[in-house]
Amino acid sequence: MRKLMTLIVAGLMLASCSSSVNSYRLAAGGQYALQAMTLSDEQVRSYVSQYIAKLDAQSTVLPESSPYTQRLRKLTAGLNSVDGVPLNFKVYQDNDANAFACADGSVRVYTKLMDLMTDDQVLGVIGHEIGHVALKHTKKQLRNSLLTSAALQGVAAQSTTAAILTDSQLGALGKTILNAQYSKKQETEADEYGYKFLKSCGKNPLAMADAFKKLKELGGSSSSSVTSAVSRLLSTHPDLDKRIANIQKMAAADGYKVK
């Protein structure tokens, strides 16, 4: 892959010599492509940590004394790290049914999702999102943003040290994290990783199937606010019936009682 990127950059540089109009754009494009492909895991975690710090400061993060936080601590007990990265959990006071996990180990759960789901269902959502992080799907999303977002282009220095992001770059990164859309293959991979992750941590992996069932149920809710929030989740999590069946098949093979 590294050899291929070298050839791409070389080709772009040669092309720039034959066109005075597009030479700068082509050369910059080759530089961004090389930076995106050489982005290290450490850089990704640093960039994401910068964004999460800003998001935490802008959001209403519930304190440890909150029943929501205490509930989250209880249901995530034993979920300490993934792929060597320590996990940290916080609850956002927000009327949106959402949750996300990031490459730096940050997991954020919104109060609305906790209101709508049982502990097992919330845990199932978390397990799935952690799967995307462990499988580096989120890193691929950032790479794509480095190539396509003008605000993010050029932030990846060709060293192990990450740059300090500007407000506009943090905003672009936030859109990448919160609006990430994955392929059907990636969704299935995250399901299977999340299943194994929850199982290895002593949790019931069938929680993921329960979470997807709840999403389907909420998608048909008569409440416009709930339907709007959940429809965004469903739009990025297609084929729920197949995915529920796949999780239940794995659970049955592992001896879990499938309802």
Residues 251, 258 contacting (CB under 8 angstroms): yes
Which of 64, 129, 187, 189 is labelled catalytic? 129
Residue 187 falls in the annotated catalytic set? no
DSSP secondary structure, 178-214, as one string: HT----HHHHHHHHHHHHHHHHHTT--TTHHHHHHHH
- Nearest CA to 118 out of 221, 199, 213 is that of 213
Which tokens belong to 226? 């709930």
Cα–Cα dist 89/105, whole Å: 8
Cite the beta strand spans of the chain per DSSP E. Answer: 81-82, 85-86, 88-92, 99-101, 106-110
The residues annotated with a catalytic role in the active site are 129
